[in-house]
Amino acid sequence: MRSLLAQVWAQPNEQPAWTLSKWETVLGQARQARLLGRLARHYADHHWLVTVPKQPRQYLEGALRLIERQHHEVQWETLCIRRALMGVDTPVVMLKGAAYFVAGLPPRHGRLFSDIDIMVKKECLPEVEGALFRHGWISEERDAYNQRYYREWMHEIPPMTHVQRGTVIDVHHTITPPTSRFKVDGARLLECAVAIDGWEGVYVLAPVDMVLHSAVHLFQEGEFSHGLRDLLDINDLLLHFGTDAGFWGALFARARDLGLGEPLFHALHHTQRLFGTRAPQESAQALQDIRPNWITRQLMSALLNRALQPLHPSCDEPGSNLARWLLYIRSHYLRMPWYLIVPHLTRKAYMRYFPKNGKAAMNADQVVR
C-alpha cells in the first residue's frame, strides 16, 4: 500500500474518506513518519475532527495535546538558549524545527520536536560550548572516538543535554560537514541570517538558505525514518516563500552559488511528485541547469520513491530496505571521503552488535518502572 499520508497534503482541501482500518494504517504511518501532530493539526484546522470516528480521533486529540506542550517547551528552551549565549559575540541562528517555530512559518503547525538545532560562528564554538555548559547543558558523549568524529569531521559538536530538563541541543557551525561534497561555509549563511522580531539576538536562515538546508539535510543525513516529514517541510516553505516575486530566481542562484544544486533538484522533484508543487515556468531553465545526469536521476528517483515512504509495514515494498540502506551508505559517501567512511561504518556496525556497557538501547521494563 502506498503512503496514505502524502495524499492528505497533495489535496489539502479534500477530506479523505477513510474506514476504521484505513485509519489504523494512517495513524501508524503518521506515528512513524513523525507526522501525527501535523495530521491532527490539519484535521483541526479544516474542522474535520468532529467527523472522525471516536477511536482514531482520540489519538489525533492526544497528538494535539502533545504539540501544545512541546511548543511551550520550545519557546522556553529558546529563551534559555538565548540567555545562556547573551555574552557570546555570535548571532544565534535557529535551524529546522526551532526556526520554523520562532519565525512562525507554516511547517511549525503540528510539529513535534525531539531536539533543538542552532548554528553559531565557527570561531565562537568553544565559547558557546562553555556558556551552554555553565547554564546546565552537558555533552553526554563519553566515547573518545565519537567526540573526535564530531569535532574533526562534522558540522556540529556532540549533542548537549540539559541536566535538569533533559532537553537536547545540537550546536552547528555550518549546515554540512567540512569533509562533505556539498561543503558550505557557515559564515556565508550567517551573513544573510534574518533577525526575528521580538526575539533579540535570535536569527533564522534567509528563506532560500532555509530551503537549501532542508534539502541538503534530507538527502545527506541518511535517516529516512522521517524523510516524508522533512519533504513536507520543504513543500510548506516553497508554498510560503514561493509567492514572493524573486524567491525562485534567488533560490536557484543561491543553490548554484553554494554548490547545492543537486539536493535542490531532488527535493523539487519529489515535492512535485508527492504534493504537486512545482517551480514556476520562468525557472524551467534554472531547474534544467541543476539537473544531474540521466543515470543519477533514474537511480536516485528509484531509491527515494521508496525511502520517502513512512517506515511502516504498510508501506513496505520489495527493495524498501535495500533502498534505505543504499541511501544511508550514499549519505556517508557524500559526507566523507572513502578512507574515512570505511573505518567509520565498520566501527558503527561493530558497536551496534557489541555495545559497550551503558550504551545499549533501553529495555522495555525500564519504561514502566
Which chain residues interact with other proteins by CB under 8 A?
20-21, 23-24, 28, 31-32, 53, 55-56, 58-59, 61-63, 65-66, 68-69, 72, 310-313, 360-369
Closest by Cα among 118, 114, 116 to 85: 118
Q: Closest by alpha carbon to 175, among 217, 224, 230, 226?
A: 217
Which of residues 32 and 277 has its CB atom nearest to other proteins in the complex? 32
Q: How far is the CB of 81 from other proteins (least distance, A)?
A: 20
- In the complex with other proteins, which residue's Cβ is closer, 50 or 362? 362
> Closest separation between CB of residue 348 and other proteins, Å?
16
Q: Which residues have C-beta within 8 Å of that of residue 69, sequence separation ≥ 6?
A: none
Q: Which is nearer to other proteins, 180 or 309 (CB)?
A: 309
Question: How far from 363 is each of 31, 311, 348, CA to CA, in Å?
Answer: 21, 22, 21
DSSP string, 7-56: HHHHSTTS-----HHHHHHHHHHHHHTT-HHHHHHHHHHTT-GGGS-HHH
SS3 137: strand
Question: What is the closest distance, in whole angstroms, from the C-beta atom of residue 219 to other proteins in the complex?
Answer: 22
Give the whole-angstrom CA distance, residue 351 versus residue 331.
Answer: 19
Q: How far is the CB of 112 from other proteins (least distance, A)?
A: 11
Comparison of 223 and 257: residue with beta carbon closer to other proteins: 223
- Give the Cβ contact number of residue 365 at 10 Å: 7
Q: What are the DSSP E strand ranges found in the chain?
A: 92-95, 116-119, 137-139, 160-162, 168-172, 194-196, 199-204
Beta-carbon contacts of 341 under 8 Å, excluding residues fewer than 6 positions away, are 332, 333, 335
Nearer of residues 72 and 134 to other proteins, judged by Cβ:
72
Cα dihedral 309/313/319/320 (nearest 10): 30
| Burial class of residue 43 in the structure, from the number of CB atoms within 10 Å of its CB (0-12 exposed, 13-18 middle, 19+ buried) | buried
| Shortest Cβ 15–other proteins spacing (Å) | 18
Which positions ≥6 away from 298 have C-beta within 8 Å?
none
Cβ at position 22, least distance to other proteins in Å: 10
Minimal distance, residue 314 CB to other proteins, in Å: 8
Q: Cβ 160 to other proteins, closest distance in Å? A: 21
| Nearer residue to other proteins within complex by CB, 109 or 226 | 226
Q: Which is nearer to other proteins, 32 or 78 (CB)?
A: 32
Q: Which of 230, 228, 179, 188 is nearest to 208 (CA)?
A: 188
Sign of CA dihedral 82, 83, 86, 87: negative
CB of 165 to other proteins, least distance (A): 11
Based on CB atoms, which residue is closest to other proteins, 62 or 130? 62
Of residues 40 and 171, the one with the C-beta less far from other proteins: 40
